[in-house]
Chain A
Amino acid sequence: MARPDTDEEVWRYSRIGELDLDRYAPLKRQRATQTVVQRDLSAFGEMSAVVVIRNGWIVEATASSDAVDAGLYAGPVGDAPDGESLLGAAVDVPVDLFGHLNRAFGPEPLAVVVPDGVRLGAPVVVVVLTDGDGAAVFPRVLVRVGADASADVVELHTSTKVDALVAPVLEATVGRDGHLRHALVQELGPRVWQLGHQAFQVEKSGRLEAFAAGLGGDYARTRTDCRLVGRGADGRLAAAYYGEDDQTLDFRTFQDHAAPDTTSTLLFKGALDGESRSVYTGLIRVRPEAVRTVAHQTNRNVKLSSDAWAESVPNLEIETDDVVCSHASTVSPVDEDQRFFLESRGVPTVAAERLLLEGFFEDVAAASPHPAVAAMLRDALADRLDRRDALADGASGSAGEGAA
């Protein structure tokens, strides 16, 4: 498998050329002891299951008795009912080198299986922690939501301040009339490289709501494939990202319509401060059999600094008639008219921009599958805006002295 390069459309604008794979080595094993879950999960309230994956290894998997009685399985794939069928169910061949490395070097994947007809009332929360310095880490999560089943699955990807490479893979299938609400909150440390892939496959009349928050990492890339393979399947993708310093946040999406009457929406919104960069490239593909497809794609970026940079490339590939498709993409500074309007009411400039940015992300936050996830996004945003305000205070303070 060749190493990707920026000549490929799906790697254009990426920093793949900077990656030195020799700096990282896969870990031989991970002891289950001394695991520290760094995140307080109490905001989730009741949970159907909590799983901790540390440096790729499942070190903890606990399901509530209610969920187990209902039929939930959350644990190593080897112990899952019909576990073998989960492998490759959503992705038969990995899409890139990092998907292959994940299969070659990754330890035993996590399986989350929600049998037909089972509707979980509380989320499955998966903490994916990386704390191995110099480690190449390959977490793999397999989710099956059966026919007429429903589940919320939340992945929290965190790390300590290590220098590490994480190549996580998610493969999720949603059965007929099933409903999966998935969230990925990425708050990796500032030196981590992430090269991730999420693949969703949705059967007839199934429904997927996928949410992502891209907040951490040095270079954090997520490719998301949403394949709608059964008539009437519906896929809704939403993401929020916020870049600071010299971070790069990189998103690639594929809305793949392979059956009639399928619908998809996509709303990705980002703010870029400092010298950070973002990349969004997205393709809506409507295959010949996917008549009466309705598909929309929107990517909006706010540049908070003149040194920030955002690339946004939406694409359509439509192979049939009788479809409704749209795409929209913007890269712009904070809206001057909106800021003036708030200032004209007496809101100080910094506070006005803060209100506008909170408002900018509000519709994405509302699309998150669980209130605790929305709260995490709002908290992360507040932290970043606090840092931004502190910088602005410093700047205006010194300017004020100069003027006086």
Chain B
Amino acid sequence: MGDERVLRIEGLCARVGEAEILHGVDLEVRPGEVHAVMGPNGSGKSTLSHVLMGRPGYEVTGGSVTLDGVDLLALPTWQRARAGLFLALQHPTEVPGVSLESVVAEATRQSGEEPGESTHDVHDVLVREASRIGFDKRFLARPLNVDLSGGEKKRNETLMLGALGRSYAVLDEIDSGLDVDALAAVSRRIQEATDEDGLGVLAITHFSRLLDVLEPDRVHVLAAGRIQAVGGPELAERLEAEGYAGVLAEAGASVGLPAGVTHPGDDGHDAGFGEDPFADPLA
């Protein structure tokens, strides 16, 4: 089992505060594959990305996530990253006084290694990555994301993705806030990482325009905390043309359940693993 290379999400349930958001998500991403997760606002897309990386405030109540056989949910965030997971945030955090270069140096430093030992390599890698996505290298020494435009922040995320060389990347709306040129540069770099390095990609997006360049192997429709439909690239085109209602109705999903509202049956029971079999179905 340890030899199998796959990011496997099984029956993942999670809540934020008192609100149950994910109700059993199943997904598998293999090296070199691109999976798109699409879904209406509030369907749990961002929650999924945060849960995978272990963001504080997001509580897993059931299911499992393994990365190449490693139990990801048992690890603190930084060890999930070192195990091979990258999360590109929808809203990259501004970190005053801390440079991109110092973060990448610390993120790649092995225990026992002196700080700054490999700084020169890091700098070279970052300069090379910056040129690959048309990112001015003056940003490398600037405080992380401070006073950057939305598009520059996303290029920054892509640059770190390239520099850190992780095995799987969760991209939380990497396409939002990007102009056409930036979108092309960013999605081309990600496509190259899948082709050249076998990066497995889970791309969370609202729009199919990202998928014009970054061609998905599978498209998953997430709604009401579950994967409701799965298809090929044509599914993304259909969603773009028709919206979610038709696809979700075919899948028999409960459409329009507002995000963050607890299922009546889940209310008050936190035992955790999936639906409570003893809940009153009429409640």
Contacts and interface: CB of A to CB of B under 8 A. Distances in A.
Contacts of B103: 342, 345, 347, 355
A344 B98 contact: no
A351 interface: yes
Contacts of A343: 76-78, 81
A172 B82 CA distance: 54
Classify chain A: how many residues form its interface, as a range: 20 to 34
Contact of B107 (A340, A345, A356, A363): A345
Q: Is the interface of A mostly helix, strand, loop or mixed?
A: helix
B81 A346 contact: yes
A330 interface: no
A348 B78 contact: yes
Q: Which of A340, A346, A359 is packed against the most chain B CB atoms within 10 Å?
A: A346
Contacts of A337: 93
Contact of B89 (A341, A348, A351, A356): A341
B98 A358 contact: yes
Given A346-B164, A351-B106, A363 B89 contact: no
A344 B53 contact: yes
Interface string B85-98: 01101001111111
A356 B95 contact: yes
Nearest to B161: A345
Contacts of B137: none
Interface string B39-64: 00000000000000101100000000
Interface residues of B, number: 30
A359 B92 CA distance: 17
Interface in A304-349: 336-338, 340-349
Contacts, number: 81
B103 to A, nearest CB: 6
A355 B109 CA distance: 13
Given A349-B76, A355-B106, A344 B87 contact: yes
A344 B58 CA distance: 14
Contact of B97 (A340, A351, A360): A360
B149 interface: no
B143 interface: yes
Interface in B130-145: 143-144
B255 interface: no
B113 to A, nearest CB: 11
Q: Which of A341, A345, A348 is packed against the most chain B CB atoms within 10 Å?
A: A345
A362 interface: yes
Contact of A359 (B81, B97, B108, B160): B97
Contacts of B87: 344
Contacts of B109: 351
Given A340-B56, A344-B53, A346-B107, A356 B98 contact: yes
25 contacts: A340-B56, A341-B92, A341-B95, A342-B103, A343-B76, A343-B78, A344-B55, A344-B78, A344-B89, A345-B81, A345-B103, A345-B160, A345-B164, A346-B78, A346-B108, A346-B164, A347-B78, A347-B106, A348-B78, A349-B78, A351-B106, A351-B109, A356-B98, A361-B97, A362-B97
Interface of B: 53, 55-56, 76-78, 81-82, 86-87, 89, 92-98, 102-104, 106-109, 143-144, 160, 164, 166
Given A342-B98, A351-B109, A352-B78, 4 more contacts: A352-B106, A355-B95, A359-B143, A362-B143
Interface of A: 336-338, 340-349, 351-352, 355-356, 358-363
